Amino acid sequence: MAALAVDAGDGHGPLVVPVWCWYEPGGDVRVLTDAGCRKALPIERAGRFSLMVECTVPRVGCVSVEGLVVCTSPGSIELFRDVAAHCLAPELVDRCVEIAAARCSGERVVFHMRPEGWLSRDLSEP
């Protein structure tokens, strides 16, 4: 999971929320969420967002990325299962998918972000 930050507009601070995401080197960063949810509209309006992922195993570090939304594609509960299986311990996947399915009866969407800037830090080194 990552923390997504996007301009919330209307004099508010940035909206910062957890999201499911994945990335393959050289490709787009993809974020899966419910269409029409609180974070989807600001992403569509701003056309860009930032993510921050923290890692504590095998060592402590973090990476952030920001960039433009280059397209959207349909999401699904099956795609959610694949992402959850990549991110969670196997014994947690079914329950997580069950909760996600119960929380959203509507459409899911994938935002594809073209990375423009990366920052990373290995915090395990002095």
Please spell the DSSP secondary structure of 63-125, one letter per residue: EEEEEEEEEEEEE-HHHHHHHHHHHS-HHHHHHHHHHHHHH--S-EEEEEEEEEEEEEEETT-
For residue 105, the model assigns a pLDDT of 66
Task: Name the residue with tokens 């196997």.
Answer: 90
Q: The whole model's pTM is what? A: 0.86
Q: Which 8-state DSSP code applies to residue 57?
A: S
Angle, in degrees to the nearest 10, between helices 77-87 and 90-103: 150
Structure tokens at 6: 């996007």
Q: Which 8-state DSSP code applies to residue 22?
A: E
Contact 100, 106 (CB under 8 A): no
For residue 61, the model assigns a pLDDT of 92
For residue 23, the model assigns a pLDDT of 92
For residue 125, the model assigns a pLDDT of 74
Return per-residue pLDDT of the chain as tens, 126 residues: 799 999 998 889 999 999 989 998 999 999 999 888 889 999 999 999 999 999 888 888 999 999 999 999 999 889 989 988 988 899 999 999 998 888 876 789 999 999 999 999 998 876
Contact 41, 55 (CB under 8 A): no
- CA-to-CA distance for 92 and 88, rounded, in angstroms? 6
Task: Name the residue with tokens 């594609």.
Answer: 73
